[in-house]
A and B are shown apart, each in its own frame.
Chain A
Amino acid sequence: MSENLETVVKTVCEGTGNDKNRMMDIVRELQEILGGVSDDAMDLIATQVGTHRVEVESVVSFYAFLSKNQKGKTVIRLCDDIIDRMFGFERIKQTFCDALGIELGETTPDNLITLETTPCIGMCDQAPAIMVNDEIFTELSRDGAVEIVEQLRAGLAPERLRRRLGDGNNSSPLVSAGVSNNLRKRGEVIFAPLECGRALKKAIAMSPNEVIRDVKTARLRGRGGAGFPTGMKWDFTRSANGERKYVVCNADEGEPGTFKDRVVLTERPELLIEGMAIAGYAIGAQEGLIYLRAEYAYLRPFLEDTLQKARNMNMLGVDVLGKPGFNFDIRIQMGAGAYVCGEETALISSCEGLRGDPKNRPPFPAQKGYLGYPTSVNNVETFCCVARILDQGAGWFSQIGSKGSTGTKLLSISGDIRRPGVYEVPFGISMKEVLELAGGEGAAAVQVGGPSGQLIGPDMFDRIICYDDLATGGALMVFGPHRDLLKVVEYFMDFFIEESCGYCTPCRVGNVLLKNRLDEILHGKGEPLDLTYLEELGNSVKATSRCGLGQTSPNPILSSLKNFPGLYHALVKANQPFQPTFDIQKALGEAKEIAGRPSMHFAE
């Protein structure tokens, strides 16, 4: 064990105050410095922060962006989601493989570059996209890919690579990303002009209970997808017993096809911070966490700067905006590439420095959340709505949208449309209107709410986007008539198999069984009863899984079975002499060879 390693680990651990709850920060930083967290490093970390070695390893082995084996100096991650596959993933992959002379998952012999894939990095509106360490490159061409390799080989650091800077804050020095906002429609809530601090000032002039009452009057519901009433969640958190309370912002938008929070974080971080401070005031918390997905690490310096500016304006810190006794500050907690961490209890596990395993409920986070203290976890967009409600009034907010679903919704629209991007629309808009806005009139199907949502066809385009009809976290993936929808379903199932945390059997095993049967059907080895099997097994997985991942993972199959039954019926064959998966000649092959004679019963 080199002394150097010891020093590095010691320094990094001490940077967090040897706090094992900050394990994510420790291993992330070491991964960055060392290119991997080796066995020796894990031993040293465990000793340094006073925990068991297995606790460290369980974290390192869980997250996609961490590894025990040393990776190259630069890691190129190709975004492999269904939209990228539709828009040239294969082409880009081949270009990189050829240019680097390695396959996916390998590192160049000089240890310079590792090539990997990763699920949706939140750039579906500008596919194909890749990450080069923390830097993002979008709408990548083959030439662009070759150029990146050449520059890296010439010794350029990823942040120095040539890129065309995006619009808005994407081109500010702290972001300087080749990412476009593609903000196609600004609504009156999130993307309306902003005067910093006004909402917070109004909030602290009221009592915390009055703030919660306003949020309730506005009938605000969570924007992440589940739609839980925000005011009620805050009420529970406020009234729960606990010497400390926490506000956590879920900025881990990992649902493939979702990228709205990316644009909010780029263009309206002040609104988010204000919303979180208001939440802190309302529930009685002094600390807030923004759980930022690893794919958005490129936004971190900018967000840290925005937080610092907020501190300078006394919107964060001690006696916020002159309110005696109201202290509130925010820390950014980076994720490390795990879809399941978008689930709030898994997110809390991750913040605590653990594997991203979901926790049992009850107790709900509002009673026992981060480090066991009452915690309110809300979506980025929800916090932004709160700030507007406090600024403009609950009455103003509840007039927007429909009765059961007030306000606006950010939609991330991608796929076969002319204008992919983020749209802020009032709730109550029909799918047809949305498709007209985005230039997707000829759509054959729309995946609403990402893989965990549902696949709908043109006969359902009259349905309404709201909590009571087409409830969604905002991801709409549009597929034209030339797309093979069952390929889409197949991809989504692969995604869930990969992202299942493995804790509970229905999700860990059930999704694999579903996918296996789907594969058989897709390969012409299906019979009609297989469809019943898929439906029954899918419903079992939904009913018995431990968290939201498994409770929604069969949806791609179930909703396509329901809304596109013809696709399946065209593939299955009834009344076959054998089960379609049974091949008698193959089963007899070995014996025929050993015995040196043909079958008595089954001629070839």
Chain B
Amino acid sequence: MTKEQNRIMAKPKVATTSLAGCFGCHMSILDIDERILQLIELIEFDKSPINDIKEFTGECLVGIVEGGCANEENVRVLQDFRKHCKILISLGDCAINGGLPAMRNTIPLKECLDEAYLNGPSVYNPSGQIPNDPEIPLLLDKVYPCHEVVKMDYHLPGCPPSADTIWQTLVALLTDAPLELPYELIKYD
């Protein structure tokens, strides 16, 4: 192997996923714009919607998780991330607090499904069935923030966190430097 190849191989890996989120946080990752070229110098993406790798190929340094856990598949993916990633980051308010999907948390699951598939004012469902294919992951009783399911190492708030915040955080983590987030980046009103 050449020296250059060696360097590439040794690059730390980053995985990302969107659980019960809207992909807005991932859009924000893409908002780092041309800096993604610099990022690629620093890291290699493993499992992530950005490169469409579906399963982990090995151990990762950082796992970035958007969205909370609304169903069993979310839980399985999150567990998988915990297993493969040294550092797990909750990215954005849904991962941290449950966010919009958690608005159903005060309503019993059965009522939610009935409203969505049977009783809602705009529902047209002559068969009166609630989708129940074995492929459809079962919903959890409520939407859980990630840290209630597995241990999360960092929380990066925002809806979504801005590209600059994500950039600063990743650079700090990858270069082992202290993270400095100026006031503008953590001010939300």
Query: A residues near B, CB below 8 A?
Result: 527, 529, 577-579, 581-582, 584, 586-592, 594-597, 599-602
Contact = CB atoms under 8 A, between A and B. Distances in A.
17 contacts: A581-B148, A582-B148, A582-B149, A586-B141, A587-B141, A587-B142, A590-B141, A591-B139, A591-B141, A594-B113, A594-B130, A595-B132, A597-B132, A597-B138, A599-B72, A601-B76, A602-B75
The 8 A-B residue pairs with the shortest CB-CB distance, nearest first, are: A591-B138, A587-B140, A601-B76, A590-B109, A591-B139, A601-B72, A590-B141, A582-B149
Interface residues of B, number: 24
A594 B144 contact: no
Nearest to B74: A601
B151 interface: yes
B127 to A, nearest CB: 16
A599 B76 CA distance: 11
Contact of B134 (A578, A582, A597, A602): A597
B138 A592 contact: yes
B172 interface: no
Nearest to A596: B132
Contacts of B49: none
Contacts of B137: 600-601
B147 interface: yes
Contacts of A578: 79, 149-150
Nearest to B137: A600
Given A594-B109, A597-B134, A599-B72, A579 B141 contact: no
B178 interface: no
A574 to B, nearest CB: 10
Contacts of B73: 600-601
Contact of B151 (A579, A587, A591): A579
A527 B150 CA distance: 11
Contacts of A579: 147-151
Contacts of A586: 141
Contacts of B110: 590, 594
Interface of B: 72-73, 75-76, 79, 108-110, 113, 130, 132, 134, 137-142, 144, 147-151
Contacts of A577: 79, 150
A589 B72 CA distance: 11
Given A590-B109, A591-B109, A594-B113, A527 B151 contact: yes
A578 B109 CA distance: 23
Contacts of A600: 72-73, 134, 137-138
Interface centre among A595, A596, A597 (most CB of B within 10 A): A595
Contacts of A590: 108-110, 141
Interface centre among A527, A529, A578, A599 (most CB of B within 10 A): A578
A577 B113 CA distance: 30
B138 A584 contact: no
Given A577-B79, A579-B147, A582-B148, A599 B138 contact: yes
A80 to B, nearest CB: 33
A510 B151 CA distance: 21
Contacts of B144: 582, 587
B70 to A, nearest CB: 10
B189 to A, nearest CB: 20
A589 B139 CA distance: 9
Contacts of A597: 132, 134, 138
Contacts of A599: 72, 138
A589 B108 CA distance: 12
Given A578-B150, A594-B113, 9 more contacts: A577-B150, A578-B79, A584-B72, A587-B142, A590-B109, A591-B72, A594-B130, A601-B75, A601-B137
Given A590-B108, A595-B132, A602-B75, A529 B151 contact: yes
Contacts of B142: 587
A592 B139 CA distance: 9
B146 to A, nearest CB: 10
Nearest to A588: B138
Nearest to B72: A601
A588 B72 contact: yes
B88 to A, nearest CB: 12
A599 B113 CA distance: 18
A581 B144 CA distance: 12
B136 to A, nearest CB: 8
A600 B147 CA distance: 23
A235 B148 CA distance: 55
Given A579-B147, A579-B151, A600-B134, A584 B141 contact: no
Contacts of B147: 579
A164 B108 CA distance: 59
A132 to B, nearest CB: 45
Given A578-B79, A591-B139, A592-B138, A602 B72 contact: yes
A17 B110 CA distance: 63
Nearest to A593: B110
B52 to A, nearest CB: 22
A578 B79 CA distance: 8
Interface centre among B76, B140, B144 (most CB of A within 10 A): B140
A171 to B, nearest CB: 60
A581 B150 CA distance: 10
A589 B141 CA distance: 7
Contacts of B139: 591
A579 to B, nearest CB: 6
A550 to B, nearest CB: 25
B106 to A, nearest CB: 14
A499 to B, nearest CB: 30
A178 B168 CA distance: 70
A517 to B, nearest CB: 13
A590 B73 CA distance: 16
B93 to A, nearest CB: 19
Interface centre among B79, B132, B138, B142 (most CB of A within 10 A): B138
A384 to B, nearest CB: 54
A589 B113 CA distance: 15
A367 to B, nearest CB: 37
A588 B79 contact: no
A591 B139 CA distance: 6
Contacts of B138: 588, 591-592, 595, 597, 599-600
